[in-house]
Structure 1
């Protein structure tokens, strides 16, 4: 068996998905809409041999939304430009199954896969914020369970469309005048609970067969969807034990469905604080924590509850009873806030600091950060990490100080061995549903 290898992704977040990164004087104020910023950082990640860059997205904002989300480029357009400016690094973008159509998504991601020569990945989301419905001609958001049922069928349709042509469907024989072998073009003719799609898609498979499917849900429905469809997950684990629990649960569910659990790459988010010494890093982290606005942290917590207004509660009273508040938004995250706040008897102020930002156990010197990454990897709390990239200094320190340690330990590659995203992640090329795999003949 091939040696298990750590995977690294870079979430390119421009001016930041928090409310304070944009204040960094070294970060351009228009980074989230500057394609050159994305290209530059994708190239830096590629030079450091990262597996992929990752673009998050959401179809709804409010005036209180974090700066990066207020004014940013659309993922597929952005990644197509990055594809032309890079050669190896994977390109993963977010598109919702709640407010798109399978044929469009199959065509767009299939096109990105061809443009990049097999480096595309689709992060499947169901959209948490209820306000998105009003941007797509609906009076109300899909109910949580319906969103996930719809998502599963959506992905099945998209993957079916990606198999519209067998790999040798186009002989392009000038002598005979045959461009297409019609027997190798396949209609889908899907009729399901949520979609009716005839096909075929006007696009063949790429060098990696199909784009890689990512998923990020943490509710029970989200984990079930991930176990069924995901080849990579953007896990929300914020400590080692919760990471191990998520990892074991997801892979056990996948195995119960008959899937190979090693064919799901679990990659939690990573927000390290790095300095020359552990003491200096801790001081930086503490200072950053102390400078945070509790009002903006409450806005971030409120986002999990469809931007519920927490400003009307007493900050130093127990976390409020939200039994009457809808959880038809980011259900897994909201349920975790309610559960932990009750178990630990948190005040609203304490909950704001705990859940209004991405808290990270990765604080210390480059050696300490590498040790913790190795602990999560060896301890099966992660197969890799998605580094959140916004402040230039933090990204440089990780690439220049932490990555070489991981390479010296044999955990992370020194150079690419493959040129597709599936190759980087150690994932197989999906079998074509219309082609029977060859039958092995036993030797006599």
Structure 2
């Protein structure tokens, strides 16, 4: 009846958000959504910041600049400096979450048929956005140390694909694998981007959530060590995982000519991100509240991650394989011999949910993989949730053996 555009004639929704229907069921334990722990929100700190912001009510209630409130941009420049990055105001765009940054970037850079490289497995919302943009998605494998840069180099040298417009990666505590790209691989990737002239899109929502191991500088910070590479990096960051997702405050750092075009694209989307939450975020950062509160978050996530991993080993033993991350929110696992989508059906019956790995693959699906998020559930729920997962595994395995 309606003449929808080609990408929206038969669109697919988020496979993760489709699981949310189960979360309202009484007693359900969720390892599914990548939600931060709501009991760790700095409610008092944010209330105080919001009160200070509202001392200038017109600033909060009126339209604001498309590129972001000056006071927020100033605080974000300071925050990035603490992360080893120097940037000017014309290189920074405040966005409604970092997902909007990706949407704007794709609008201004990617045309139907353009080659875009992604790590595999990858964040599903990115795959969804690329498909709607009608990009030609080409995948690069990952291992426990992140993107396989040698495989990428071989792919580019072979000429098997056209010159890519960009490569999307979550190099620190990746979603879904939890892996962190090593410093050596980051340098090698920067050199490849400079040589082949494609943009590295570095999505970094989890970098501050390190609870063990040694920090690794962001790709953007490391551009100082690779001549010419700063022109080929776009960096996304967000307060969603480290302060509160309800603020919807993210930012993009990119070459000024890219940012200028993204600002124009944003004008047609929402005119500006909400000034009220921007002002609240600016006050929160200016007060130093983030630095004070982060240790509480990382300490709790360390405990939750250790609990999940130890319980998986105790309950499932050799039936499950996974890499224990040094930060972030996710454990990526494989259970051989069982399709994770089938396992999920039994898990729902046992009142526990997770995300089957199929959601994270653009091609060459790994049916035995699954993502478990330890951030939102409490420690006791994690222990109980793994016991339920074990019961679901036994039920699924029993049915598989009978078939």
Structure number with greater CO (CA < 8 Å, separation at least 6) is 2
Bigger Rg over Cα: 1
Q: Higher helix fraction: Structure 1 or Structure 2?
A: 2
